[in-house]
Amino acid sequence: MKLVFAGTPEVAVPALDALLASGRHEVAAVVTRPDAPAGRGRRLVASPVAERAEEAGIEVLKPAKPRDEDFLARLREIAPDCCPVVAYGALLPRVALDIPAHGWVNLHFSLLPAWRGAAPVQHAVMAGDEMTGAATFQIEEGLDSGPVYGVITEAVRPTDTSGDLLTRLAFAGSGLLAATMDGIEDGTLKPRPQPADGITLAPKLSVEDARVDWGAPALRVDRVVRACTPAPGAWTVFRGERLKLIQIGLFPGRTELASGELAVGKNAVHVGTGSHDVELLWVQPQGKKPMRAADWARGVRIAPGERLGAADVG
């Protein structure tokens, strides 16, 4: 088939690579989000998908909105048979959905109908799911509600961050998307409606969602830190400033500390929670690079009884 691939971030690149390597389909063009400011200089930078497409010599389309008439006209000229999508980042209007003969097929990183929305992997980790996966489905105007072509499953490991899990799903899902294109082309694959039961929503996590509540059980604290790593980044407050939490360790059984209270040993920093203490492993103070929590604690000279999250950001 002639394909137009839509995607934006790094997580979409493995799927584009899989389609380019398949040898069975032609990737005629790529649709991605417009260049965005990045870095300290805030200069405009092309998306990872745009960069990969340019390396491969593929036409890149960057509409401000996918309903822009110039974009729709070009898409009609290309006349794709199907448009595979991975994390494109914009809602597709009906007029765009109707252009390819086989529609737009999305690779979504959950076992639909669970975790429909922008942050399925983060919500799966935060909820403590033991199993997740990826699904390919026909895009319709509802939120991730279209009929499903195929799924793969992936275990959520006890120490997985969202970044870890998403990386594995991106590579495993790339094969699923390529196989879905093959099945659509030869007519062996038909989408099936999603079940009406089991629908959960996964909206984008806000900065406030990533703030750690030290009164919560240790298991919940651990899930929030892992779910929000690398983005939006779990955090707390220390002496009126934000402290980013990159990694913590669970140590069931020790319950000596009050919620948020710090205890500094020779090579370890413990914090009390609503159940048992956890160990801070890696943190990032405001305006500084990530560092081992023990090194941070030595530098700030924590006083007995000091707490995390005890005051608002100044």
pLDDT in tens, 106-129: 999 999 999 999 999 999 999 999
| 3-state SS class at 169 | helix
Contact 107, 148 (CB under 8 A): no
Q: Spell out the residues 6+ positions from residue 196 whose beta carbon is closer than 8 angstroms to its own.
A: none
**Apex 149 CA angle, 147 and 153, nearest 5:** 110
Is residue 112 annotated as involved in ligand binding? yes
Mean pLDDT of the chain: 95
C-alpha to C-alpha distance for 72 and 80, rounded to whole angstroms: 12
Q: Spell out the residues 6+ positions from residue 53 whose beta carbon is closer than 8 angstroms to its own.
A: 5, 16, 29, 30, 32, 59, 60
Residue-wise pLDDT tens digits, 4-30: 999 999 999 999 999 999 989 999 999
Across the range 54-68, mean pLDDT stands at 97
Residue-wise pLDDT tens digits, 62-98: 999 999 999 999 999 999 999 999 999 999 999 999 9
Q: Is the pLDDT of residue 253 over 70?
A: no
Q: Does domain 2-186 have CATH number 3.40.50.170?
A: yes
- Residue 127 C-alpha from the chain's centroid: 15
Q: Is the pLDDT of residue 310 over 90?
A: no
Is residue 113 annotated as involved in ligand binding? yes
Q: Is the pLDDT of residue 265 over 90?
A: no
Across the range 288-293, mean pLDDT stands at 96
Across the range 40-69, mean pLDDT stands at 95
- Residue 313 has a pLDDT of 44
Q: Is the dihedral of CA 36, 37, 43, 47 positive or negative?
A: negative
Contact 308, 238 (CB under 8 A): yes
CATH number, domain 207-307, options 3.10.25.10, 3.40.50.300, 3.40.50.2000, 3.30.70.260: 3.10.25.10
- Residue 15 has a pLDDT of 98
Q: Spell out the residues 6+ positions from residue 98 whose beta carbon is closer than 8 angstroms to its own.
A: none
> In the block, which residue shows the tokens 């390529």?
178
Q: Please report, to the nearest 10 degrees, the dihedral formed by the alpha carbons of residues 195, 201, 202, 206 taken in order.
A: 180
Residue ranges, CATH 3.40.50.170, the chain = 2-186
Q: Is the pLDDT of residue 50 over 70?
A: yes
Global pTM reads: 0.93
Is residue 111 annotated as involved in ligand binding? yes
Across the range 290-314, mean pLDDT stands at 86
| 3-state SS class at 30 | strand
- Residue 312 has a pLDDT of 53
Q: How many CB atoms lie within 10 A of CB 150?
A: 17
H helix intervals, 187-252: 218-227
Between 141 and 243, residue with greater pLDDT = 243
State percent of the chain over pLDDT 70. Answer: 98
Q: Is the pLDDT of residue 314 over 70?
A: no
- Residue 311 has a pLDDT of 60
Across the range 227-249, mean pLDDT stands at 97
Q: Which residues pair with 282 in a beta bridge?
A: 247, 292
